[in-house]
Structure 1
Amino acid sequence: MDIKRQVINKFNEIFGADIKNLDNIQQFHEQLENEKHEIEESLSMASTEVPSKVKNAVANVELIRSDVEKSIEAAEELRKSIAKVLEEDNKTPKIKTVIDKIGELEKTLKYLQFLKYIEEISNEMEESMASGNDESMITLFTNLAEINCQLESSSCHNLVNYARETLYYWHNHLKERFSKEYTEVLKTMKWPFCGNNLSALNTIMPETMTRFKILTEYLLQLYLPKNDEPSVKSSLLTDFAPVCLPIALLVRPLRQRFIYHFTGNKQTNRPDKPEWFFTQVLTWIKDHEKWIEKNVQAIADSTGFTYINMKVEFMRALVQLAVEKLHTDLPVAQYDDTHFAHLVDEALGFEHELRDTFLYPANQPATVLVLTQAQIFVKWINMEKKYATEKIDVILNAQSAWERVNGTDLDDMKITECADAFLTLLTTISDRYSHLPQPGHRLQFLELQLELIDDWRVRLLQLLQQDCEDPLNSLIPPILNSLYYVSSVLLEWGDTVHFLQLHYFKKKCDAAELATEEGTDISENYIEENGSVFDDAVALLKRLEKELLDEISDSVALEVKAKSRPYRTDKWFAMQNEKEVASLSVTRTGCPMFEELTKQLHRLNDALSLPLFNIAWRNIASQLDRYLYEGVILENQFNTGGAAQLKYDITRNLFPLFGLYTEKPESYFPLMRESCILLNVLLGSAMLLIEALDGDNEDTAKDVLAEIGIFTLSPTSALTVLKLRTDIVIQ
């Protein structure tokens, strides 16, 4: 059936449905016969050729199989031969045993060589010490220290301990020997150079200075590997790495003086005078820093210890004295608020002096290290809050709180003493915690500042609750000026490096807290959100500022509106034509309104800072524009004289009042300006306008109005104004 279908399809494909195509059937039959003949011939040839080809292929395969089997047999015989030889001649275990033995002997020999080398160095050092050869002793000690460094990773613990103990032994002996001589040299030099010894700087003998340099070089080389340096026992002082030997010996007499004067029952050890010991440490640094840089640093550089900053080492050793003293005094002082606050003030002042004046590195610990201990820090920040709150009370209750600060470059801001003092308080707090190393501590102080800003805002709200008839004569203007100035300064602070860093840390903490609550990862997009730490605080201040500004603007506008009734009810429909009077002058009924507006604007300008006044008069202008449009324009009919008079009052009296504060006052009175245009346009033009505005095409109407300068009034409103003209009669 399939073959039959194929034949039918073939015929349909060749002849199609047209019977005329059957003429080609003879040709198609011949083509099929030819194809059949060719197939039969190919089959005949295949029947004679295929058997021979198959036979040859089978013979080749048999030959290849035979060769493969022979190769496999040969390979198997070779494998057995190799295995037999290896089994007979295998001496690997014996060789391995010999090699391991040699390795152990070599390690033992190396071990003994280290021991012998250490003993030889120790013996040589004894001989050098006996003969007084200091330079040889230092060289040998350096070699011994190098051996200790080489043995750091060794698993031979006994050898390592032996080398370390030998190093300690000679370090202590040499340190004692050179320290004793170093101390004698310092006495000869009359070190330290303070008090009565200041003149000794210029009287040091050359040979004494030479010996000082040599001993300083020796002491610098008496260093211990970092892992062998003595650890600090006090947990507080773990941040203070041991200073180099020369500096430790230079500071020793100063330490003795410090302990003598500032411990025990000495008169100089007064708990209420912490500034005494802080000042003493700063004085010692100031008296000796240049000498240390000039002499000791030069010796260190020439010896190859350029990585040691001798001035910093000297300061660090003296700062440690102050830190130890502060750590001792604070636990007692925390029970007396006054004493505690004074001690914290002096500690912070000491830190600022160190960092700013003497350039003490930021990565080196100082007195803030003590203040940030958990118990002390909590007490500190609570004291800051207490005294800051009391200071705000004093600022707000001062008689001169709302008086202006004179002698500044910002007279237009009309800065009040209240705002200036409050920002000074915030600045002082920032200065006090800016050197804290931990972001978490700084963020807690930032939260305190934000809390104080909000407290100050609430206190201002309480003051504003007092009744007042005239806002311009109340506390509203100075409070407005204070709010604007404080918020402006806070926005500037928000862009400084200090507060930008705090903003980043705060966002990071908030993101971590949110991720913890939701059980998700921290979102980098959340951390990198723009803004500043003062955004929320400034937003609240701006909200209060806007409310007060609206209130004072509304008050001024209300006073002006109260004087406008005669002007609004004047006979605008029966005024003399412009040609009937010699010259136009301000409408008599408008004089009280314009006079009141002039007075109120002057008072407002005098009371508010320039940026606030600019906002206020624009607000007043907008209100008056709407009020006069609705109360004068829409409520009256205007003859030609009335329209001309209104235009004169607005353009020659109202606009100039605001022209003192802007170059284009008319742009702030769009309704009145455009109404005057419509009321004074020529009668013919007015009639054409009415026809255009009466049409249904609003876009065309707007285009027509735009041609005469009308952009604010809608076509409907413009048509209403035009119909208020008495010279136009609407059918």
Structure 2
Amino acid sequence: MSRQMKQTNDEEQMVTLYLEFRKLCQSYQKGHRAAYVREYRHYWHNVLKDKFTQSYEEVLKSLKWPFSSPPEASPPPKEAMAKFTSLTKNLFLIEEPEDFMTDVKVKDESAQVEKPPCLPVRILLRPLKKRFQFHFTGSRQTARIDRPEWFLTQTLTWIKHHQGFVRTQVQPVADKIELTHVKAVDEFNSGLIALSAERLHTVLALYHTQAAKGDIVDVDAAFAHAVDETLGFQKELLEITGKDVNSVLSILTKAETFVRWLSVEKKYALAKMDESLGCSQWSEGVGAGAGAATGSALWIPRAADWFVTLLRTIEDRYVLLPQPGHRLQFLELQLELVEEWRVRLTQLLGAALDTLHVDSFLSADASSHPLTAVINAAHHTRTVLLQWAHSLHYLQLHYYRRQFQNFTQQQHHEEEEESSSSDSSDSDEYSETEGDGVRKPRKDSNAEALSLMEVEVRAKNLALSEMSRQNSIAPDLNQYDVTTPIVNLAVAEPLTGEDEAEEAGVFAEAPALLARLRDAGLAALAEHILLEFKAGLKDYKRQKWHGLLIVEEMALSVSTSLCRPLAALCTRLSVAAQRLAPTLTARLRAHLADIVDSYIFEEIVLESWFNTGGTMQFTHDVKRNLVPAFAPPNKVASQVNQLPRLLEACRLLNLDYDDARRLRAVLTKQPAAAAESLAHYHINNIQHPQALQILNQRTDLSDSASPSSVMELF
């Protein structure tokens, strides 16, 4: 058979003889004869491989391989393609035997080394490897280490130009001879990507040495540029090949490189944060200025929009990483940045409070006050984080972190059990003797333990289940009146305890801390608005409500002493409403109404006597002036209940004489029935003693039992 292979010049016959020879050699498995047969088989394999490789390379030259453009532009000659197909088939058939492949040693056993490409693909890659080494290694201009995009772009170009040819001309040959393990396109692309990965590893290692020599001024900038180009390469590679190949990303996730990546990300993120807050336009709305789109969110500060974009950019970079552990480390970086952002906003809040003066929020100028900008920034950041917390990406990280914590706790618990049982000679294999005297083997504690891969899969399934649950219970918002104002500020307070933690998801307490900052800003703004209002009510509080004349209802107007402070309050509230987010405006309006309601009720209603004229004037002030002042623009004042105690006080003051006397008698003599009696008149927010005091301070109900004669008030 060996003599026939030497004498024949027919390639197909030579391959047929070699296959028969290889099959014959398989019968020799032991002894010196097996070693001799193996070496002889390798000899003939190398002879055929060299012969076919030389012919293959000649055919490739005639096909003008490597291509400078996709082969569809200029179809190759049919004769050359026929020869190419024949040689490809022969190379597949004489592929190295499995025992020969076992000679390949892996230096790093922990590294996952892919199987080498098939023989035809290796030959196809040779000229491309030579070109790559020629252009992108050594001292050539194209080998500059600060321009990794050059070799990455060239790799993508080669994949675009050649993978179609490999798919249509090489893979069908393997399929025809039933080589199911051959994936020619994947092997070809992996070979080219491996070149880029190896060069990228070298480039990243050279940055420090070149910086020490002074060849690179800013090492971090060069490193960040290389990371961006690598991630861009990975995205485009996924679009071109349709498969997620992580060999390039594995370079970025090596321990030393990954730690440096995190450090550089944090450095530039903090610099960008300080730059955005240091800009004079940081407090302006993103939709402000010329060319603003209709319906733009004018209340979102530019700095907050920049910060959210910064977090999104970081997410877009690390979302490509295959290992959830690496993504979790980037998530921790995002949480650190959110905390840094909150600290800076807190500092800006303190500075903004120092800039408040008497004329603040009295004029609707175009510029936004720093106080409202800080409130809006905290609110916008919190809203975005809560929205992200329910996205698939962050849900997967949330559940993975929880599953991983359970996994590590289980591992730690098992290690403690093993160490505690190591002193007993029998406890390793047998449990304690049971009632029948038979000792049974102990269950393997690792049988039910999850592997890290199973942890990741379970986290993905939990995230998908949560997304499905949210979609299934999502309400139809059209059936609700989302413009209804919040009557009480406490209604809009952040969730507490487990509900808040579950709502924030992977962001933990960050949204709650931002909500606390936002509410502190709103409280300070409300205090500033009410400061002059309370001071201006001194004359209103001293008004003699017991001595006012009865005036026709049509002739009533707002009290003179209330007009000025109420006008200033309405102006400041209107200006603040133009600068705050709509939901924050509702919160501020409700908060102000609650304070005004309590203040006027305690300082005026409970401290004053009312005759019929005073009751009419006070009722007019409340219903026609105070209530409309705090009513939302899209609501009729009579439909809202922003001042519940004042409205109920007016109801008590306006009760008919007989009803008022009966109610006072019940409140005085039957305290147990007080709540029911007050509820009958729709009095739900005023306590029993306060209601009795208001009735007693009606001049028409005064009698000798009153603390002092009503006539002494005149």
CA distance 1:165–1:686, change in 2 (3 Å): farther
Cα offset, 1:608, TM superposition: 1.0
Please tell me the residue identity of whatever aligns with 1:482.
Answer: A
CA distance 1:442–1:409, change in 2 (3 Å): farther
CA distance 1:683–1:208, change in 2 (3 Å): same
Aligned ranges 1:129-278 → 2 under 5 Å: 130-139=7-16, 156=30, 165-194=39-68, 201-224=73-96, 228-229=100-101, 231=104, 235=108, 238-278=112-152
CA distance 1:164–1:682, change in 2 (3 Å): farther
Is 2:478 the partner of 1:595?
no
Q: Is the 8 A contact 1:247 1:313 kept in 2?
A: yes
Which of 664, 667, 670 in structure 2 is aligned with 1:693?
667
Q: Is the 8 A contact 2:318 2:330 kept in 1?
A: yes
Cα offset, 1:424, TM superposition: 1.7
Is 2:629 the partner of 1:657?
yes
Q: Is the 8 A contact 2:283 2:369 kept in 1?
A: no
Answer 1 or 2: higher relative contact order, Cα 8 Å, separation at least 6.
Answer: 2
Is 2:579 the partner of 1:707?
no
Please tell me the residue identity of whatever aligns with 2:233.
Answer: F
Aligned ranges 1:217-616 → 2 under 5 Å: 217-224=89-96, 228-229=100-101, 231=104, 235=108, 238-305=112-179, 308-334=182-208, 335=211, 336-355=219-238, 357-362=239-244, 364-406=245-287, 407=292, 411-412=296-297, 414-466=299-351, 467-470=354-357, 474-511=369-406, 519=416, 530=502, 532-579=505-552, 583-616=555-588
CA distance 1:503–1:721, change in 2 (3 Å): same
Which stretch shows the higher mean deviation, 180-189 or 426-435? 426-435
Q: CA offsets per residue over residues 454-502 of structure 1, 9 Å max, x none?
A: 1121122222332222475742211111111111111222222322232
Please tell me the residue identity of whatever aligns with 1:361.
Answer: K
Which stretch shows the higher mean deviation, 614-623 or 663-672? 663-672
- For residues 669 and 144 of structure 1, the distance between their equivalents in structure 2, rounded to whole angstroms, comes to 101
Please tell me the residue identity of whatever aligns with 2:375.
Answer: L
Cα offset, 1:184, TM superposition: 1.2
Please tell me the residue identity of whatever aligns with 2:373.
Answer: P
Cα offset, 1:512, TM superposition: 5.3
- For residues 324 and 164 of structure 1, the distance between their equivalents in structure 2, rounded to whole angstroms, comes to 34
Q: CA offsets per residue over residues 511-541 of structure 1, 9 Å max, x none?
A: 456567774799999x999562212222222
Is 2:658 the partner of 1:684?
yes
CA distance 1:629–1:285, change in 2 (3 Å): same
Q: CA offsets per residue over residues 642-676 of structure 1, 9 Å max, x none?
A: 11222222112222223334637542211011111
Query: Tell me, what secondary structure is at the counterpart of 1:415?
Result: coil
How does the TM-score come out when normalised to structure 1?
0.75
CA distance 1:596–1:163, change in 2 (3 Å): farther
CA distance 1:400–1:161, change in 2 (3 Å): farther
Please tell me the residue identity of whatever aligns with 1:213.
Answer: T
Q: CA offsets per residue over residues 228-262 of structure 1, 9 Å max, x none?
A: 43637675985333122222222221111111111
Cα offset, 1:413, TM superposition: 6.6
Which stretch shows the higher mean deviation, 467-476 or 599-608? 467-476
Q: Is the 8 A contact 2:170 2:184 kept in 1?
A: yes
Q: Is the 8 A contact 2:610 2:699 kept in 1?
A: yes
Which stretch shows the higher mean deviation, 591-600 or 498-507? 498-507
- For residues 484 and 149 of structure 1, the distance between their equivalents in structure 2, rounded to whole angstroms, comes to 75
Cα offset, 1:597, TM superposition: 2.1
Higher helix proportion, which one?
1
Corresponding position of 1:647:
619
How does the TM-score come out when normalised to structure 2?
0.77
Q: Is the 8 A contact 1:468 1:474 kept in 2?
A: no
Corresponding position of 1:87:
none
CA distance 1:300–1:374, change in 2 (3 Å): same
- For residues 19 and 306 of structure 2, the distance between their equivalents in structure 1, rounded to whole angstroms, comes to 62
- For residues 643 and 145 of structure 1, the distance between their equivalents in structure 2, rounded to whole angstroms, comes to 114
- For residues 146 and 542 of structure 1, the distance between their equivalents in structure 2, rounded to whole angstroms, comes to 76
Cα offset, 1:384, TM superposition: 1.8
- For residues 671 and 227 of structure 1, the distance between their equivalents in structure 2, rounded to whole angstroms, comes to 92
- For residues 143 and 614 of structure 1, the distance between their equivalents in structure 2, rounded to whole angstroms, comes to 87
- For residues 283 and 98 of structure 2, the distance between their equivalents in structure 1, rounded to whole angstroms, comes to 62
Please tell me the residue identity of whatever aligns with 1:450.
Answer: L
Cα offset, 1:349, TM superposition: 2.0
CA distance 1:689–1:242, change in 2 (3 Å): same
Query: Tell me, what secondary structure is at the counterpart of 1:190?
Result: coil
CA distance 1:209–1:234, change in 2 (3 Å): farther
Report percent identity of matched pairs.
35
Q: Is the 8 A contact 2:8 2:14 kept in 1?
A: no
Q: CA offsets per residue over residues 576-623 of structure 1, 9 Å max, x none?
A: 2244x6522222222112211210111111121112212111111111
Corresponding position of 1:62:
none
Cα offset, 1:218, TM superposition: 2.7
Q: Is the 8 A contact 2:594 2:642 kept in 1?
A: yes
CA distance 1:129–1:667, change in 2 (3 Å): farther
Please tell me the residue identity of whatever aligns with 1:275.
Answer: E
Q: CA offsets per residue over residues 534-591 of structure 1, 9 Å max, x none?
A: 1222222222122112111222222322322222222211222244x65222222221
- For residues 150 and 492 of structure 1, the distance between their equivalents in structure 2, rounded to whole angstroms, comes to 67
Q: Is the 8 A contact 1:193 1:201 kept in 2?
A: no
- For residues 222 and 680 of structure 1, the distance between their equivalents in structure 2, rounded to whole angstroms, comes to 107
- For residues 159 and 695 of structure 1, the distance between their equivalents in structure 2, rounded to whole angstroms, comes to 120
Count of equivalent residues = 599
CA distance 1:253–1:421, change in 2 (3 Å): same
Q: Is the 8 A contact 1:563 1:596 kept in 2?
A: no
Q: Is there any run of 5+ residues in structure 1 with no aligned partner, and where?
A: 1-122
- For residues 596 and 298 of structure 1, the distance between their equivalents in structure 2, rounded to whole angstroms, comes to 83
Cα offset, 1:418, TM superposition: 0.8
Cα offset, 1:136, TM superposition: 4.2
- For residues 525 and 49 of structure 2, the distance between their equivalents in structure 1, rounded to whole angstroms, comes to 80
Q: Is the 8 A contact 2:285 2:298 kept in 1?
A: no
Cα offset, 1:373, TM superposition: 1.8
Q: Which structure's CA Rg is the greater one?
A: 1
CA distance 1:238–1:203, change in 2 (3 Å): same
Query: Tell me, what secondary structure is at the counterpart of 1:637?
Result: coil
- CA-atom RMSD in angstroms: 3.2
Query: Tell me, what secondary structure is at the counterpart of 1:399?
Result: coil
Please tell me the residue identity of whatever aligns with 1:424.
Answer: T
Corresponding position of 1:670:
644
